A = this chain, B = another copy of it.
Amino acid sequence: MRIETLAADYGVELEWRAFLLGAIFKAQGWTDSPFNLYPSKGRYMWRDLERTCARLNIAFQKPTRFPRNGLLAARVACSYQQADWIGAFVRNVYLANFARDQDISQAAVIAECLADCGAAPDSILADSTSEAAKQLLREQCETAGMLNLFGAPSFVARGELFWGNDRLEEALAFARAGA
């Protein structure tokens, strides 16, 4: 929700890289989101997210189902990561899931997220099931694993890993320091 505006403020170039959290979690030995696996921590994290969104003026409503399948959203984000609407699309998908409790695994929901930022849903959704799109996402998931990612959002700046919304400013400052 914050990275595009903030990266511009810091004068840092942003490259989006979608990946699937499921495979990353599996590599840690987690068969589900840690929010679900560890109930005390999970309850706290939802409350923390609620407080953080209130502080940042970001709409938030706890999804009735969590996590939802992000495969389609990830394939689209991955294939079109250089499109000028990619940031708006990602924000739309997060708002659909975390503010409007919509089922982002459904093509109709993703189509709305695309249309809302001026992209053409029909051709983009058709593209997202191509072998090339599938292969690109597989490769980015592999790269995420090689970078030792263990959660999202993650930011890689000059080879350094920063994890979570709390570290966004630090990651951007680190990136800028190397420019």
Chain A residues within CB distance 8 Å of chain B: 27-29, 38, 40-41, 43-44, 47-48, 51, 55, 148-151, 160-163, 166-167, 170
Contact = CB atoms under 8 A, between A and B. Distances in A.
Q: List the 8 shortest-distance A-B pairs measured between CB atoms, nearest first.
A: A41-B150, A40-B148, A40-B150, A166-B166, A28-B38, A44-B161, A44-B163, A43-B148
Nearest to A30: B38
A170 B55 CA distance: 10
Nearest to A154: B44
Contacts of A162: 48
Contacts of A41: 28, 150-151
Contacts of A166: 166
A41 B41 CA distance: 16
A38 B29 contact: yes
Contact of A44 (B40, B47, B48, B150): B150
B150 A48 contact: no
Given A40-B148, A40-B150, A41-B150, 17 more contacts: A28-B38, A28-B40, A28-B41, A29-B38, A38-B150, A41-B151, A44-B148, A44-B150, A44-B161, A44-B163, A47-B160, A47-B161, A48-B162, A48-B163, A48-B167, A51-B170, A166-B166
